[in-house]
Amino acid sequence: MKRVGGLIIVGIIILIPVLIAFYWHSKEFKYTELPVYSTDEMGEEVPYYIDSFSLIDQNGDVFTREDIGDKVYIANFFFASCPEVCPTINGHLKIASQKLENSTDVLFISHTVDPYNDTAAVLRAYADKFEVNDDQWKFLTGSKSTIYRLARDSYKAVIQAVPDTTDFIHSEKVMLIDKDFHVRGIYDGLDITDIMKMIEDARFLLKTYKDQEKDETKR
| Per-residue pLDDT, 43 | 81
Spell out the residues 6+ positions from residue 119 whose beta carbon is closer than 8 angstroms to its own: 141
pLDDT tier, 6 (very low <50, low <70, confident <90, very high otherwise): very low
pTM score, whole prediction: 0.82
pLDDT (0 to 100) of residue 96 = 98
Q: What is the pLDDT of residue 63?
A: 98
Question: Can you tell me the distance from the alpha carbon of 138 to that of 152, in angstroms, rounded to the nearest whole number?
Answer: 20
Residue 161 has pLDDT above 60, yes or no: no
**DSSP H/E element including 54:** strand 54-56
Strand, helix or coil at 210? helix
Mean pLDDT, residues 142-164: 79
- Is there a contact between 110 and 212 (Cβ–Cβ < 8 Å)? no
pLDDT at 29 (0 to 100): 42
